[in-house]
Chain A
Amino acid sequence: MRRRGSPFTGVGVVLAKEAADYLSGARMWVLEALVFLTAIAAAYAAILSIRANIGESPFLFLRLLTMAQDPLPSFIALLGFLIPLVAIAIGFDAINGEFSRRTLSRVLAQPIYRDALLLGKFLAALVSLTIGLLSLWLLTIGLGLLLLGLAPNTEEMVRMLGFLVATIAYGGVWLAVAFLFSAVFRAPATAALAALGVWLLFALFWSVVTPLVATLIAGPREGIFGPNLAYLQTALALDRISPNTLYSEIALALLQPSTRALGPVLYSQVQGALLGAPLPAAQSFLLVWPQLTGLVAAMILIFAVAYVAFQRQEIRA
């Protein structure tokens, strides 16, 4: 039987309340402080290094994000590591917290559908994450302006904006994972552990797993006449199941303009190319379009599974 009334009734109210909770909550402040401190430290270290070699690259602002200076990793490496943790920390108790506080039945007794509650909460978490990332992005640019004494050019701004969008989508994937486990498990601690387990799998173990599976599927890495192309393609396809891989490929192509391909390249494909010459921003965006849409699709797909899990649950006080 078809239900009457919009499933989006009340989304705005839920979004406003939840976003206010996230942004004013101690948890968010601690997480933001952690990300800001580490990322700014990485950017600052990179700036010191760049100042010593200021004439080497036409894309100094992009190097601010990609350059690592011992003992700190690069800004993008830190973000790739910390964003999933922040997203999981925001979302692991989004749904089960309502159960444990016994607020769910009271809220759902108001004229809204569950759809609105889940969507409103997810959008609020995504908005909070976006506000945090946008602040970080602006702060990094400001730091670069102050310490380098140079303004970013248009192409750098476009690339950095693209990277910001990709970072939000990457955070969205991990938020969706956290929401999924928060809908499946009633205990917030279990949900957090499960989400962290998935993060560990992709962050640490996936690069160990994929060569093994690729070898089983496509044979050994090295063939009789050189590298086994089937193996390389299989390993790459498996690697790209991981959102971390998709994100790092996007970061590589957008923030290092000389990147011309994101996978095995045949000799025939690079004939006539000026190796090391930067690609125009539009070409770089074309290169990462599948990865970017992949991240957005993964976020939507995982959120849809969380939605189904939540819809199937019994609402008890």
Chain B
Amino acid sequence: MAGEVVIRAQELTKRYGTTVAVDHIDFDVRAGEIVGILGPNGSGKTTTILMLLGLTEPTEGRAEVAGFDPLRDPLEVKRRVGYLPDSVGFYDGLTARDNLAYTGRLAGLSRREIDERFAEALVRVGLPDVGRDRVGTFSRGMRQRLGLAEVLMKRPSIAILDEPTATLDPHSTQEFLGMIRGLKADGTAVLLSSHHLDQVQSVCDRVALFNRGRIALSGSVTDLAQRVLGGGYVIDIEARGAGVREQLVGIPGIVRVQVLGPELYRADCERDLRPEIARRLAPASQLLGIRFAEPSLNEVYTRYFDEVRHAA
């Protein structure tokens, strides 16, 4: 059901001896939503994923995935979750079909279901003709696509993708992101771990920023931008005429104006000043366009960790 919470973590904690890998985190993911998890290496992203899959036991706290406790009912959880690890591995000596048939049989699919879903999944990931080829001959990009085909074959209600585009070229990355959007369109909840902030921003509804085992920030990119970058309303203005910048600076509520190009300006505002800007520019200049600027996740991420470093 759309909007239903399908992943819930409460006070989830994992310690290895004295090292705290994940420290009392809380978050949830809803059906049909793509949630990105970000953070530096060693910040607890993969450990969190492994706990959600029941592959690692939490030290404290609890998780609920597709309505089941991964610690108590790992098999039920794994029946409903498709997982694509980073740098996914296959049995090189086996064909693509044999590799996926093996995990399909482990997932409880019948031979007929495997045949049907395998062909369909290969088409969706753009590898329709490689079923009989040995995986040893595949490029990294093809392996990642095959990994996603495995997830699709399972028809999961939740897909957990751990750095799925880390080894892909730009063109394949764009195609892969399209496939992730396709999962969302199917109603699948997606938990996406990645270091590529622009990619996360382009597909995710919400993001959670991990730092030292904790979730430092979470929400939509706009929410995070307001909290980290301050101000909150960034407006891009396209206008032709003399003295546009000066006119913008004179509007009360505009904190800063940047010139991005010959006829392009960016204004950091205290509130939504689009009507006021349009009214003020109209007499002397030609207004070509005005819209909210998309805050950059990259900027949020960089600013946040700069502040953390300075605070330390």
Task: Point out residues on A near B: beta carbons under 8 Å.
Answer: 1-5, 9-10, 13-14, 17, 21, 25, 101-113, 314-317
Contact = CB atoms under 8 A, between A and B. Distances in A.
A314 B56 CA distance: 7
Interface of B: 46, 50, 53, 55-56, 71-76, 78-79, 81-83, 85-93, 102-103, 105-108, 147, 150, 162
10 contacts: A3-B74, A5-B76, A13-B102, A13-B106, A21-B91, A106-B150, A109-B53, A111-B78, A112-B75, A317-B88
Given A107-B106, A109-B55, A110-B106, A317 B85 contact: yes
A116 to B, nearest CB: 9
Contact of B107 (A103, A111, A113, A314): A111
A102 B103 CA distance: 14
Given A107-B103, A314-B50, 16 more contacts: A3-B73, A4-B75, A5-B73, A10-B106, A21-B91, A101-B90, A106-B89, A109-B82, A110-B107, A111-B106, A112-B75, A112-B106, A113-B74, A316-B50, A317-B85, A317-B88
By DSSP majority rule, is chain A's interface helix, strand, loop, or mixed? loop
A5 B73 CA distance: 7
Nearest to B104: A110
A164 B151 CA distance: 45
Contacts of A109: 53, 55, 78, 81-83, 85
B75 A111 contact: yes
B79 A103 contact: no
A5 B74 contact: yes
A3 B72 contact: yes
Given A109-B53, A315-B50, A102 B85 contact: yes
A106 B147 CA distance: 9
Given A13-B105, A101-B89, A108-B55, A1 B79 contact: no
Contact of A110 (B46, B88, B92, B103): B103
A206 B214 CA distance: 54
B171 to A, nearest CB: 24
Contacts of B78: 109-112
A244 to B, nearest CB: 34
A282 B86 CA distance: 59
The 10 closest A-B pairs by CB, nearest first: A102-B89, A317-B85, A110-B106, A109-B83, A5-B75, A111-B78, A111-B75, A103-B89, A101-B89, A13-B105
Nearest to A314: B56
A64 B91 CA distance: 42
